[in-house]
Amino acid sequence: MKVLDWTYDKVLNGVPGLDSVDELARKFMLQEGTMHEKANSLIRWQNAKAATSGFITGIGGLMTLPVAIPANLASVLFIQIRMIAAIARMGGYNLRDDKVKTLVYVCLAGNFAKDIIQETGIMIGTKLTAKVIGSISERSILAINQRVGFSLLSKYGGKSAINLGKVVPLIGGVIGGTVDIVATNLIGNTARNVFIGSNK
């Protein structure tokens, strides 16, 4: 959770050389098309960034962050959280709201986002939407955040791709980039459906 909170803070307050999350959202809001199409455009752009990030860190390039986690995980988490937050902003949500922040974290779970919410006892319909924000209490925030943390630990706990990357760094880079782009696309689609809707 310290890693997620640190990353979220950087996403909101910006880092040198990158647009703030508000600027990123505004840039895609100015594009032609429906809100759904604008979100899809943002997701495609972030997919490309995630693939590049995964490839660079896989062959030895590093994104230096003051947290003791693998560089690839740190850089991809930043890209993914920034993408989700920008989509939430495009949907008109206040990123300083703790409930919105928690829902941003939930989106990192992709297909398991709905399950995480339901495991805390919050009843939702067939689809997870931002309407669930009203049901999230302070107690629920802690429970949901913990489950997201466990989900991410499980997700990034695999060793096979990492070990292969150590043997053949270039292959490790390709694997890293491919996994990251697939995951980022799934997470982006989840965020779009939650904060904007699946058919707007």
pLDDT by residue for the chain (200 residues), tens only, comes to 777 888 888 888 877 777 789 998 999 999 999 999 999 999 888 877 765 654 444 333 334 444 555 566 677 788 889 999 999 999 999 999 999 999 999 888 877 777 787 777 777 766 677 777 777 888 888 888 888 887 777 665 544 344 333 444 433 443 344 456 778 888 889 899 889 986 64
Residue 60: predicted pLDDT: 36
Find where tokens 């429970």 sit: 143
Residue 105: predicted pLDDT: 92
Q: How is residue 188 written in tokens?
A: 């982006």
- How many domains is the chain partitioned into structurally? 1
Residue 71: predicted pLDDT: 60
200 lies in some domain: no
Cα 128 to Cα 110, 135, 142: the distances in Å are 11, 12, 19
Residue 198: predicted pLDDT: 66
Q: Count CB neighbours of 45 within 10 A.
A: 16
Residue 125: predicted pLDDT: 64
Task: Give the Cα separation of 157 and 167 in Å (integer).
Answer: 19
Q: Count CB neighbours of 9 within 10 A.
A: 10
pTM for this model (two decimals): 0.75
Q: How is residue 195 written in tokens?
A: 């904060």
Task: Give the Cα separation of 64 and 88 in Å (integer).
Answer: 27
29 lies in some domain: yes
The values of phi and psi at residue 159, to 5°, are -110, -15
174 lies in some domain: yes
Residue 28: predicted pLDDT: 92
149 lies in some domain: yes
- The CA radius of gyration of the chain, in Å to the nearest whole number, is 16
List the domain range (segments joined by +) for residue 155.
2-195
Residue 63: predicted pLDDT: 47
Do the Cβ atoms of 90 and 16 come closer than 8 Å?
A: no
